[in-house]
Amino acid sequence: MRKVLLVRFGEVYLKGLNRSSFLKILTDNVKKAVKGTGASVWLADSRIYVAEFEDMDDIVNRVKKVFGLYSVSPAYEVDKDFEEISKACLEVCKDLSGTFKVLARRSDKSFPINSMDMAVELGGRILDANSQLKVDVHKPEHKVCVEVRDHAYVYSGEIMAAGGLPMGTGGKAALLLSGGIDSPVAGYQIMRRGVRMCAIHFMSPPYTGELAREKVVTLAKMLAAYSGGMRVYMVPFTKCQLEIHEKCPEELGTLITRRFMMRIACKLAKDFGAQALVTGESLGQVASQTMEAIGCTDEISDIPVFRPLIGLDKIEIIRIAEKIGTYETSILPYEDCCTVFTPRHPMTRPKKSGMPKAEARLDIDALVDEAVAGTEKLIF
C-alpha cells in the first residue's frame, strides 16, 4: 500500500486537437510544483498521479495551486487484490464518523468481482470495523471511492484545486500592480487562464515610501508563487505626477495620471513581450473608473486592456483576495502614488476630446521616455 495523490484536470478536457500539448504542459507544471520533494509525477488514464513523497499535506498544498487542475484526492494505491483493497478501505475510514457510502468502479473488467458486489462487501467490512459510521446511500457525508484500473485506488474526499488553464498556454500579459486589494486579484484571474504575467508598479518617492514598495514586492512574490516566477518593473513616477499636478486641470489629474501609466505600461509590455495589459478596475468604483473615464484611459493603449474585475463588487473582490492570500498584505496602510495627488473634485464624466488640451502643456514623450529609462527590473 502506498500513498498517492490523484489529480483531476478541468477545462483541458474541452481542448480538441491541442489537448495532448496542454496535458504535457500541465504535467510539467505539476512536476515543477513538487520539485525538491523527490515525488514522481506521471500522466495515465486521463489523470495525473503523484507518488513517492513523505508529506501528503505539503504535496496537496503545492499541487492544488497549479492552474488547469480541477481537484485532488489523497489516496492509497494497492495491488488489484480484494483483500488489499479492503485493508485500504479500513485505513481510509479509520478516523471517519457519520454517514458513508462505498462507490466502486471497475475499469479493468478482468477484475473478478463486479462493482456492485465490491461496494456491498466493502461497506459491510467498514461497518464492522468502525462503529462511528452508518450507511446512507442517498446523501452520505463521506464517499469511499474504490477504482480498479492499472492498480486499485482507494480514497475518500476531494479537495478543489485552482481551476483555469495550464500556465504558459495563454500568452503573456502585463499587470498594473498597485498595493491595493484589486490589482493582485485581477492578476490572479488572468494568470489563472494560463497567462504568464509581469507586474508594473508606479512609485513616487519621496511621496510614497519604502514600506509601500516592500508591500508591492510582497504581493508580487505571492502572485509569483502561482505562476512559477514573475518579473516586476518598478517605475519612477514622481516627475510625471509633479508635472501633471502643476500643468494640468486639477479635476482631470487622476485621469491624466492613469493615461501616463498606460503609455509607460505599453512600452514596458513590449520589453516583456506582453500582448495585453491587465488592471484591477471595476466599473463605477471610483471617479477614474466610470465608463467615460475608462474610455479616456483605454484609448491610450495600443494593445488590449483586460479588466477581469469590471463587473465584480468590492465584497466579491475581497473574497477572492482572502482566498488567494493577498488581502492581509493589501490592507496595510501605505500610500499609493494615486492617493498622493488626489484631486478634491475629480471629473466623473470626462470627454476624450478634451484630453489633448488638458495635456497640452506636458512634454509627454520626454516624460514617458524618462520614466521607462529609470525603471528598475526585479525578478522573483
Which whole-number Å values give the CA distances from 296 to 123, 255, 262, 311, 340, in the listed order? 65, 8, 11, 19, 21
HSE of 128 in the Cβ direction (CA atoms, 13 Å)? Answer: 9
Which element (helix H / strand E) includes 174? Answer: strand 172-176
Residue nearest to ligand ATP (CB): 180
Of 147, 243, 281, 336, the one binding Mg ion (CB under 5 A) is 336
344 φ/ψ angles, rounded to the nearest 5 degrees = -70, -40
Question: Which of ligand ATP, Mg ion, none interacts with 378 (beta carbon under 5 to 8 A by kind)?
Answer: none
Could you say whether residue 180 binds Mg ion (CB under 5 A)? yes
Could you say whether residue 280 binds ligand ATP (CB under 6 A)? yes
Of 177, 222, 294, 312, the one binding ligand ATP (CB under 6 A) is 177
Of 202, 226, 233, 260, the one binding ligand ATP (CB under 6 A) is 202
Stretch that binds ligand ATP, among 3-11, 12-20, 81-89, 280-288 (CB under 6 A): 280-288
CB of 366 to ligand ATP, least distance (A): 21
Cis geometry, peptide bond prior to residue 206 (ω within 30 degrees of 0) = yes
Query: Which residue do the cell numbers 516624460 mark?
Result: 367
Among residues 254, 260, 259, 214, which one has the least CA distance to residue 239?
A: 260
Of 27, 189, 241, 279, the one binding ligand ATP (CB under 6 A) is 279
334 φ/ψ angles, rounded to the nearest 5 degrees = -105, 145
C-alpha cell at 115: 462493482
Of 96, 127, 286, 378, the one binding ligand ATP (CB under 6 A) is 286
Question: Which of ligand ATP, Mg ion, none interacts with 359 (beta carbon under 5 to 8 A by kind)?
Answer: none
Residue 352 is given by DSSP the state G
Which whole-number Å values give the CA distances from 192 to 53, 171, 202, in the listed order? 27, 12, 24
Could you say whether residue 326 binds ligand ATP (CB under 6 A)? no
Question: Which of ligand ATP, Mg ion, none interacts with 288 (beta carbon under 5 to 8 A by kind)?
Answer: ligand ATP
CB of 34 to Mg ion, least distance (A): 35
C-alpha cell at 239: 516627475
Could you say whether residue 201 binds ligand ATP (CB under 6 A)? yes
CB of 280 to Mg ion, least distance (A): 7
Contact at 8 Å (CB) between 164 and 10? yes
The site for Mg ion (CB under 5 A) is made up of: 178, 180, 336
Chain residues that interact with ligand ATP, rule: CB under 6 A: 176-178, 180-183, 200-202, 261, 279-281, 285-286, 288, 336-338
